[in-house]
Chain A
Amino acid sequence: METVVKVKALHKTFGEVKALADINFEVPGGELFGLIGPDGAGKTTLIRILTSLMLAEQGTAEVLGLDAVKDYKQLRKRIGYMPGKFSLYEDLSVEENLELFAAIFGTTIKENYHLIQDIYDQIAPFKKRRAGKLSGGMKQKLALSCAMIHAPEIIFLDEPTTGVDPVSRKEFWQMLDRLKKEGITILVSTPYMDEAGLCDRVALIQNGRMLKIETPEQIEKDYEFPIWSVNTNRKRHIINDIRKFPHCRSAFMFGSEAHYTDLRNLDFPDGLYEHLTELGHEEIDIKTIRPGIEDCFMALMQQKETTHA
């Protein structure tokens, strides 16, 4: 498959803040590519540069073979874009919003209905309702419909599932999967690391730098340390108390349990049990687990920080 996104040595600063630093990556056609990173990592800036809405200071960005700066007019006809903030007209109805965007792109709802049918059918019962009165999940479905109505070759979605309930999130990703099957390239950003596994490949971004670009499976495979989950009765103190353990390499909370790696290369973190007992923990449960993508991301982030320091 040909390459549809080609980014070379991209730099962007806002005043003193380095928003993007030396970003390089390529996305082949038909791929579901995820940008994963915490708030303020530079995901939105990167998407805005790719959609020609912002200029980078250095480097080039090519989308569909078009330069994002020079050929912005051509580019804007062929891409779909859904910004992070809900940006449709709240005083227009669902149907009116969709009709407006169809007209802006010189098409009709009928012409490309097959593309959005799955999504639109779910909100069709509310098509006379004002967009501002929709729930978060339905707003996102409408926004996706509007971004897809002109049958773009690639769509850019900036945190489409932020602030959306878990059920709608899951449905949203199912929709992305169906769009992918239509051959549409998808570039999606998200702060939720559990969504990384749903992408073909993910790029982990932090502080404007890309830490790693890999398939989710490979990222997990590359994780080099044994990792344990730790659970006790004093959940609020687990993380601080583990970090006091002299052999602790890293400890992060995941839900109600802590994930722990050891500085020593051992099959089991000897002494941790005793350490926690001493600090008053009971019902201590330490289990070997398979590293998830979040563990990998945490590890990469920490690595980066220490090398920077």
Chain B
Amino acid sequence: MRFFSILRGQRKGAKMNRLRAFIKKEFYHIIRDWRTLIILIGMPMAQIILFGFAITNEVNEAKIGILDKAKDEESRNIINKIDASSYLDITEYLSTDEEIEKVFKKGNVKEIIVFPADFGRDLWANNQADIQVVSDATDPNTADLIFNYTRAIILNHLNEMNANIESPFQIEINQQMLYNPALKGVYLFVPGLITVILMLISAMMTSISITKEKELGTMEVLLATPMAPVQVVLAKVIPYLLLAFIDAVLVLLLGYFVFDVPIRGSLVLLLFETLVFIVTALSLGVFISTRTSSQQVALMISLMLLMLPTILLSGFIFPIENMPNPLQIISNIVPARWFVIILKGIMLKGLGIAAIWEETLILIGFIVFFIALSVKNYKIRLT
């Protein structure tokens, strides 16, 4: 028995040694290709500084909530007007202030209109009343647009009321921004940028790095050795995992110190979710490499299939609610979409794991799916 355990120990040692040597080799590749390394480290920084505020949005059927404490004729008139608008869609009716936070955390409702208890009375008694509008400003552009639509509808209603009256009514609209009171685009941009960069480095670089072995013929030599496919892939993935993680931390630091982007939730949770997303992207990269045999093709597929959807369909620039239906459906299979929700939730809303466990599970589902596909497609021989 002892003899066998020693033998097994040795075998394990040799395996570890093999993996370690191979990881070392991967680091040599990365470090010696210093131009690429500079791009990988420098690009995120340049992007966060350069990219910007030239983001426009359109709002269609934005979901809003109503907290009508007055429940009188005047408030109901306005609510009817809002409901009739094609821009706004009332999905929630609240009854207390406490519910505002809860509704927002569910994530669908972008704005809540609050009528104070004596809205109608104030209006008739003083010719003046207040309406409070609370916005979810995690996406500042959308929040601003929805607020402007809301104001336009209310003012329009006011004009109709005032048409035949000598002493005009006035309604004061107070907007309150939740989560991102300064409406900073960079707040939204940092989570988006982290997502894009992690996708780029993890998926593209691993897929290129594996196809490079095929293209240069080194894969042929590796195949003729006892190096197991799993080991090759693992050794490829680990350095990029580290590199991607460093990049994520750099962007977070830059966002925190230069642009005052808050991290309201748990930092540990944030880093954990980042790791989950990196592994998702890595498994996607490995999968791409099993289906391609040249670096060029791997690069094109990564760009077309990963970069564009990550930028366009993740909800980081264009709100998913405003997309045409087919695109909304497609966005479900873009892993970045779920990660953007997680990041925004943790960084801007301070949510805990209880609020984002579904998104996390979806990402883990992607990992399992891509790894299973990769294993199925991995070739133990030349084609």
Contact = CB atoms under 8 A, between A and B. Distances in A.
B21 A54 contact: no
B22 interface: yes
Interface in B1-27: 14-15, 17-18, 20-22, 24-25
Interface in B350-383: 380-382
A52 interface: yes
A91 B32 contact: yes
B218 A104 contact: no
Given A53-B382, A91-B33, A103 B21 contact: yes
Given A48-B382, A53-B382, A87-B217, A99 B224 contact: no
Given A52-B381, A91-B32, A104 B217 contact: no
Interface in A45-75: 48, 51-55, 72-73
Contacts of A73: 226
Given A91-B29, A104-B226, A55 B381 contact: yes
Interface string A72-83: 110011010101
A100 B21 contact: yes
- Interface hub of A88, A99, A101, A103 (most chain B Cβ within 10 A): A103
Interface in B245-292: none
A143 B380 CA distance: 22
B28 A104 contact: no
Contact of A72 (B216, B222, B380, B382): B380
B223 A53 contact: yes
A83 B29 contact: no
Interface in B62-84: none
B33 A88 contact: no
A103 B28 CA distance: 16
Contacts of B217: 83, 85-87
Given A87-B218, A89-B218, A100-B21, A52 B226 contact: no
Interface string B209-235: 000000011101111111100000000
A105 B225 CA distance: 7
A96 B226 CA distance: 19
A88 B218 contact: yes
Contacts of B224: 51-53, 76, 79, 81
Nearest to A73: B226
A101 B380 CA distance: 18
Nearest to A49: B381
B18 A89 contact: no
B25 A96 contact: yes
Contacts of A55: 381
Contacts of B223: 53, 76
B29 A89 contact: yes
Contact of B21 (A51, A81, A86, A104): A104
A92 interface: yes
Given A81-B221, A88-B221, A104 B381 contact: no
A255 interface: no
Interface in A159-185: none
B29 A104 contact: no
29 contacts: A51-B224, A52-B224, A53-B223, A53-B224, A53-B381, A53-B382, A72-B381, A73-B226, A81-B224, A83-B217, A83-B221, A87-B217, A87-B221, A88-B221, A89-B25, A89-B29, A91-B28, A91-B33, A92-B28, A99-B21, A100-B24, A103-B18, A103-B20, A103-B21, A104-B22, A104-B227, A105-B225, A106-B14, A106-B17
Interface of A: 48, 51-55, 72-73, 76-77, 79, 81, 83, 85-92, 96, 99-101, 103-106, 146
Complex A-B, nearest 9 residue pairs according to Cβ-Cβ distance, in ascending order: A103-B21, A106-B14, A87-B217, A81-B224, A85-B217, A77-B226, A87-B221, A91-B32, A53-B382
